[in-house]
Amino acid sequence: MIELRDLTKAYGTYLAVNRLNLRIAKGEIFGFIGPNGAGKTTTIKMMGGVLAPTEGSVTIAGVNMQAEPEKAKRKIGFIPDRPYLYEKLTGLEFMKFTADVYGVPESRFHERVAGILQMFSLADWSDELIESYSHGMKQRLIMAAALLHEPEVLIVDEPMVGLDPLAIIMVKDLFKRLAAEGVTIFMSTHTLKVAEDICDRIGVITRGRLIASGTTADLQREAHVTSADLEQVFLNLTGKS
Amino acid sequence: MDNSLIQDLKLLLRPRTMPVLTRGLTRSTRGGATRLLVLGAVGTVFWWGLFGICWRVLRYFHRIEDIGDLLAYKLLSMILIVSFALLLFSSILTSLSKLYLSRDLILVFSLPVAGYRIFIARWLDSTADSSWMVIVFTMPVFLAYGIVFGAGVAYYINTLLALTVLAVIASALSAILVMVGVMIVPATRMRSIVILLGVLLFVVLYLAIRLLRPEQLVNPEVFDSVLVYISSLQAPAAPFLPSTWAYNCIQAALTGTAWASIFHLVLAASFAAAMVCLLVLTADVLYFKGFSKTQTAAARVIRSSGLSDRLFRFLPAPVRSFTVKEIKTFLRDQTQWTQLFLIAALLVIYIYNFDALPLEKSPIQTVYLQNLFSFLNMGLALFVLTAVAARFAYPAVSLEREAFWLVRSAPLSLRAFLLIKFFIYYVPLLVLTEILIVVTNLLLKVTPFMMTLSTVTVFFLVPGIVAMGIGLGAAYPDFKAENPTQTVTSFGGLVFMIACAGYIGLVILLQAGPVYRLFMADLHGRPLSGATWLWTVAAFGAALALSILAIILPLRFGERRLSQVHI
């Protein structure tokens, strides 16, 4: 469902992402972890079509991002790490805007919007301007909007930032349910516990290179750790212990 | 150990002063040396231009016996009243921003520094920010006064001090008003109200002054007697106004009475000192309370009716989404409303000026003059359109701000995005310019030929100007600007204005010759030669080709540059 082939991003002589190769199957939840400045957000932006790679390719559900960007983007629900939105729109207006951009039919929009806003505890605020929302509410609104057009792929940068514990539990359950329904989820996170709890596979990136990927057990073997948690695995693999 | 007041103030002001001191003005200014150089050059030209105009006017007044100096002093009084009003208005807005709305205030208030010291630091910053431009750009006026009246060094020193004291008084008064106001109305809403009221007041005053035809004041025949005329000039300004104290100080310095000048300066300075004491006492009581109040969000007053969704139902979904979004965010942004009021007022005055033109008094044949004005009016109306496009079309892409990631991640090409922006602004600007042209032509009573020429020329030029605005705004976006409508003051904005001026000038030049021949032939009932027809077709053809290029090239350029922007 997602294929990254020799994906590279260079800023002058600095390689932010260096020949990244990954294949993620349909319905898989893939966690992307790494230290600050490792290249996680740069990778996510290239996958979402927000940043052009220097070399390599991104294929989303069989569609090449560079060749057919609009077609590829239609298959993606993109959730960035910082919730910058149109502050002068209400929550509902922003949902309608997103629905129209992604070509969601009006009848389908009306069927889904109330339920999605309720799920993200935004129904009571849907008629207020986004500028009056808290950081967490804005983050939830972006997630709600990303799910409106029923994407095949969800690309998420730091999904739990700004969410309260209840919302974190809700999002974890939601991601598992979506994956079971066949949605492929690619998420970057600093919260190793989250990656451990919900991800089928985890990739570890450092200095732009994917240094390990696999299940938690695979990573433990690779890090030569027998019974430690993901934190020790991460520290060993990134050479920070 | 507690810091002294001065130490705390230095610390709190360091984020403002340090970038300039350590990296210099060029590296701490966004856009760097190029931007600084260009803006500096424009500012210098404006400064010397203003000086030149003032010097000529004052020299003319100085040569008029008896009432010449009275006119000069009256003008000085008016300049100081207007400067004080500008300082007050500017200070209110800057105070609101610096004291209550700046993003760093949360961090600043978390520091172990007394609230009143935070206030003093912010107020000093606000005073400097709100007054430097008014002082710098009134200096040429006072320089002209000094040169024409042959004033000594004391005049220049006292003038600078008087202006500084005036700025302090305006800033202190504004800050007190703002602190009291914020206790009643939230700061964000208060800023919108102040801006709207300020603009409305300016519009009403401007319209009132223009409709009174002040040009008649220079014609003493309007007054029944010279004595009434002179008394009206001699009438003193209100004695309780700080601008009057500044005027008394400067006028005394101009006439060489140094001690009188110092006396009025000390008077004004003592008032400024008293205001500052009152300000600090008020801040100690109200500032933090007001800032806490500002942290709560204002409730929504007007709910949406869904009219724009229904109105644009016929558009394809992605186009509709951005169109509706653009209209809603435009109408809900108070800064856009203030610009609309200003532009509406300027357009009313523009049209009124045509009505007030004394064509019947002209020695040149009226029909010829009317149609000549119509031809020139075409260029003028397009320059007005350029100014309007600079405020609305040019910042259109920058208005996306940091939400631009939504555009990049959406299944919509950048080309489509720019075309949507283009059509959103093209339609209203075309309607506006055509109305302007038709109404002014009707007032000028032009021939049907000139009416057709004007309306058709404008119809073909408007898309080019709007495309240049959108395209160049996309090529030089500023997604981080606190006020994106100010982006037109950047390098890209300058390129836009110059490109539009060149484009309009070129089309007018291309048309001038053939239009003159056609008009004169029509006026005298003469047939046109084959060469003239050929020249006409070639010129209009070239103008049409230029118009097509003016639409395509800027949008392509903007698309290419925008695709390379990293967000």
pLDDT in tens, A29-88: 999 988 888 889 899 988 988 888 889 999 999 999 988 888 898 899 999 888 788 888
* pLDDT exceeds 60 at position A241: no
Q: Distance (Å, rounded) from C-alpha B301 to C-alpha B186? A: 13
- Find chain A residues with C-beta within 8 A of B566's C-beta: 51
Cβ contact B170:B88 at 8 Å: yes
Tokens (6 digits) for B492: 């890209």
Residues in CB range of A160: below 8 A, 6 or more apart: A168, A171, A189, A191, A194
Residue A110 contacts B where some CB pair is shorter than 8 Å = no
Q: Which pLDDT score is estimated for B402? A: 85
* pLDDT exceeds 70 at position A139: yes
* pLDDT exceeds 70 at position B248: yes
Q: Distance (Å, rounded) from C-alpha B245 to C-alpha B272? A: 11
Would you call A84 and B322 a contact, using CB atoms and an 8 Å cutoff? no
Q: Distance (Å, rounded) from C-alpha B161 to C-alpha A67? A: 66
Provide the edge-to-edge strand list for the sheet that holds A209-214.
A76-79, A153-157, A184-188, A29-33, A201-206, A209-214
Q: Distance (Å, rounded) from C-alpha B143 to C-alpha B51? A: 7
Would you call B411 and A129 a contact, using CB atoms and an 8 Å cutoff? no
Three-state DSSP class for B440? Answer: helix
Residue A88 contacts B where some CB pair is shorter than 8 Å = yes
Mutate to test the interface with A, among B101, B321, B334, B337 (most CBs of A within 10 A): B321
Which residues of A, range 112-131, sit inside 8 Å of B by Cβ?
127-129, 131
Rounded to the nearest 5°, which phi and psi values hold at A104?
A: -75, 125
Residue B14 Cα, gap to closest chain A Cα (Å): 29
Would you call A102 and B410 a contact, using CB atoms and an 8 Å cutoff? yes
Number of H helices, E strands in chain A: 9, 10
Tokens (6 digits) for B301: 């007053």
* Mean pLDDT estimate for chain B: 82
Within 10 A of A82 (CB to CB), how many other CB atoms are there? 15
Cβ contact B517:B529 at 8 Å: no
Q: Which pLDDT score is estimated for B503? A: 93
Nearest to A89 among B298, B328, B402 (CB): B328
Q: Which pLDDT score is estimated for B21? A: 64
Minimum mean pLDDT among A148-152, B323-327, B518-522: which range? Answer: B518-522
Cβ contact A78:A50 at 8 Å: yes
Nearest to A50 among B329, B405, B413 (CB): B405
Q: What is the pLDDT of residues B480-501, one digit of tens each?
A: 776 666 677 788 888 998 999 9
Interface predicted TM-score (ipTM): 0.75
Minimum mean pLDDT among B64-68, B211-215, B307-311: which range? Answer: B211-215
| B533: confidence class by pLDDT, cuts 50, 70, 90 | confident
Parallel/antiparallel/unpaired status of strands A184-188 and A29-33: parallel
Which amino acid, one-letter code, is at A123?
Answer: A
Q: A181-195, B79-93, B119-133, B538-552 — which one is most confidently predicted on average?
A: B538-552
* pLDDT exceeds 90 at position B96: no
* pLDDT exceeds 70 at position B377: yes
Parallel/antiparallel/unpaired status of strands A2-11 and A14-24: antiparallel
Closest to B192 measured CA to CA, from B90, B345, B337:
B337
Residue B455 Cα, gap to closest chain A Cα (Å): 36
Mutate to test the interface with B, among A14, A63, A101, A153 (most CBs of B within 10 A): A101
Nearest to A90 among B304, B318, B408 (CB): B304
Q: Across the strands, what pairs with A63?
A: A60
Q: Which residue of B has its CA nearest to A75?
A: B411
Parallel/antiparallel/unpaired status of strands A76-79 and A153-157: parallel
Q: Distance (Å, rounded) from C-alpha A227 to C-alpha A123? A: 44
Would you call A101 and B566 a contact, using CB atoms and an 8 Å cutoff? no
- Find chain B residues with C-beta within 8 A of A71's C-beta: 411
Within 10 A of B452 (CB to CB), how many other CB atoms are there? 12
* pLDDT exceeds 90 at position A191: no
Closest to B515 measured CA to CA, from B313, B363, B375:
B375
Cβ contact A155:A142 at 8 Å: no
How many contacts does A have with B, using Cβ atoms within 8 A? 86
Residue B295 contacts A where some CB pair is shorter than 8 Å = no
Mutate to test the interface with A, among B313, B405, B479 (most CBs of A within 10 A): B405
Residue B234 contacts A where some CB pair is shorter than 8 Å = no
Q: Which residue of A has its CA nearest to B319?
A: A101
Would you call B300 and A101 a contact, using CB atoms and an 8 Å cutoff? no
Residues B475-478: contacts with CB within 8 Å, 24+ apart? Answer: B475/B554, B475/B557, B475/B558, B475/B560, B475/B561, B475/B562, B476/B561, B477/B397, B477/B398, B477/B404, B477/B562, B477/B565, B478/B30, B478/B398
- Find chain B residues with C-beta within 8 A of A78's C-beta: 409
What is the arithmetic mean of pLDDT over B203-214?
64
